[in-house]
Amino acid sequence: MVGLVTLPPLRQDLALYPGEPEADGSPTWTLHDPAANRFYRIGWAAFEILSRWSLGNAEQVARAVREQTTLQSDAEAVLDLAEMLRHSHLCQAGTAVDSLRLARTLGDSRKHWAKWLLEHYLFFRVPLWRPLRLLRALTPRVGWAYARGFHLTLAMLLLAGLYLVSRQWDAFIHSFSAFDHWSGYLGLGLALTFSKVLHEFGHALTATRYGCKVPTMGVAFLVMWPMLYTDVNEAWKLPSRRLRLRIAGAGIATELALAVLATFLWSFLPEGPLKAAAFMLATSTWLVTLAINASPFMRFDGYFLLCDWIGIDNLHARSFAFGRWWLRERLFALGAPAPEAASRGRQHFLVAFAHATWLYRLILFLGIALLVYHFFFKALGIFLMLVELGWFIVRPLAMEAGVWWQSREAIMKHPRSWATLALFTALAALLALPLQTTLQAPAMLTLEAHQAIRAPLAGVLQAAPPRVGQAVRQGEALFHLRSPDTDFQLAHARLREQPLRLQQERQALDESLRRQGGVIGKRQEEAAGSIQAWSREQARLTINAPLAGVVLEVNDQLNMGGWVAADEWLAFVGQPRGARVEAYIEEADLERLRPNARARFVPETPEWPVFQCRLAEIDRSNAAILEHPALAMPNGGTLAVKGDGRDGRDGLIPAASHFRARLDRCDPAIAPPRELRGTAHIEAERSSLSARWWRAARALLQRETGF
């Protein structure tokens, strides 16, 4: 019979500590396994069962619980608890069956060397020392840090530091100047190391103060990135949630206190590495600490703070279980019970927290994968990036898909499952069917014959500028500028040349001039050359029309008698009929295009119509420089570029491989006077979204694997 099953004896080294009551007031306890340094939170029913475990069999234990408490326990609940204890290795192993079970567990824990290396590359710890003796010696000496007086002192130092910094704000924000020397970087490194060591000692000393042992401190490596760690697992022994919150938040509080002190000391330190280090401690160091350690989506300080604050242990595992349950119910309506009993509000919180954590980790692990790829040499970087994506993203998705497949018979019995299947089929069809008959590309529309007129030199405008729409002939003078500097240099050159020319004419009659030989002639030639050069410069100030046409646009800031800067845009001259479009096509889409394909140019501004064009030609090589800066993202366009685009013209290089395509025979032929940004829709071979993504991925892979 089930109730007569003999219960396995418990290990003698287990310890039981009282815990904080549940939300309904029921008591809890914490069961500690010192061999594995693990803690298990148990409720009232489990505690009453364990208290009577020595009765020997499940039925006797369940009867004693029912008779001596208000709980209605049965033998099945006792056996379930026994199974959990066996699975967690909390029972004594005294039989052959136990030996076989332990051997099987040991065999399962032995991993292939490749899997072991994979897991330990992603995360591993290096314990450096056992600080228990030092912590016990330091704890009585740092009691002042927990006193109210110290906290008030910090508040006053913060106010004083902020006041002093506000008096020297410009100097404060320029404290990075000390980093120009190697000593500045040394001071920065020492400051960061010092703050992180204090962070960990904040955890350790606070845990020791409340009676917890800190067995190890060391360095943890997350994807080869070093981080200090402190083992404060014994904080789970504490029955007070408030004390656990203090231990979890002690590291952040320590760095904040250090930032307050650094803010105050910055005003008194001399210029140099120490002042720069104080600036870092007062600003970015604690901000980075908050951004990383305060996040509840990874198992850092913020996670444990949130767990204790809301009273939910193992928040990640429990919320993930709710997230998966919610997803399966929404997709398949299986009617499965929730992973655990919880109020509706708590269920909503756990589901939302699970989805937020998944999204956060997806973005984080994608970023880590890209970082790993760029950090190592290309072959190893590609391998490690694939490992990151496979282990953290593909593997969890594949495991969930495996659960769906194993439950396929139950899933297909529910009508909602068929609706979900139909939805997935429709989405797959949208991705797989070749529905796209055009491709879109950022483009710029211009006149076939047009040219901008710019001032060659700085000068004063001597006449009124031409009118918009004015017909001009090629070479006709449009702008007359006068440069006082050019006039002065030309007059000075003429004054130098005139006496030299007279001396050269009289040289044959004057003995003193004859003795100078050809020097006078050379000087006169130099002066004459200077006159010619400055005359050409003066002639450039008369600006002529570069082609026959009409004035399309004039700079409305021009006024007669006003100054014009060098290279300032003055006007556009061109022929109003005849438009052309230049579009930038992604490399993966080139094979879909055919010559003479029809195309449409849709302007960005709605006051201009849609232009119907034809594909004329595509460059054979990708665009090395973006010739239309307005298409770049820094200037409001859609093309990602390398460079900041501050000059608006030069230095803009497409971030991805794009080829320039030219569209002509546009209708209507009348085009705007200036460049017009928009999108080109070009007829192409039918293609699906999945095929497009595959071509883009293949092109990226081919480009990045070129060693």
What are 473-489's pLDDT values in tens digits?
888 888 988 888 888 88
Whether the bond between 668 and the residue before it is cis, its omega within 30 degrees of 0, is yes
- For 97-135, how does the pLDDT look when each residue is reduced to its tens digit (9 = 90+)? 667 776 676 665 566 656 666 656 666 788 888 999 999
Whether pLDDT at 595 is above 90:
no
Domain boundaries, the chain: 2-109, 115-311, 312-432, 440-448+578-704, 450-571
CATH hierarchy code of domain 450-571: 2.40.50.100
Half-sphere exposure of 639 (CA within 13 A, CB side): 36
φ and ψ at residue 564, rounded to 5 degrees: -120, 130
First to last CA, the chain: 70
Contact 179, 92 (CB under 8 A): no
SS percent in the chain: helix, strand, coil, step 5:
55, 20, 30
> Number of H helices and number of E strands within the chain?
23, 22
The two tokens of residue 288 are 């980075």
Q: What is the pLDDT of residues 363-411, one digit of tens each?
A: 887 787 777 777 766 666 677 777 777 777 788 888 888 888 888 888 8
Q: What angle do CA 216, 217, 221 make, to 5 degrees?
A: 120
Question: What is the C-alpha to C-alpha distance for residues 246 and 119, in angstroms, rounded to an integer?
Answer: 32
| Greatest mean pLDDT among 283-287, 448-452, 559-563, 645-649 | 559-563
Question: Contact, 328 vs 334, CB < 8 A?
Answer: yes
What residues pair up with 227 in beta bridges, in sequence order? 220
- State what percent of residues in the chain have pLDDT above 90: 18
pLDDT tens across 440-473, in order? 999 988 877 777 788 888 889 888 888 877 888 8
In this prediction, residue 601 has a pLDDT band, given cuts at 50, 70 and 90, of very high
Q: Give every strand in the sheet of 217-222, ordered side by side.
A: 123-129, 217-222, 225-230
399 residue type, one letter: M
For the domain spanning 440-448+578-704, the CATH number is 2.40.30.170
For residue 403, count other CB atoms closer than 10 A to its CB: 10
19 — pLDDT class (breaks 50, 70, 90): confident
Beta strands in 488-646 (DSSP E): 542-544, 549-554, 563-564, 569-574, 579-586, 598-603, 611-618, 641-642
C-beta contacts of 142-147 below 8 A and 24+ residues apart: 142/205, 143/209, 145/205, 145/257, 146/206, 146/209
Average pLDDT of the residues in 513-532: 77
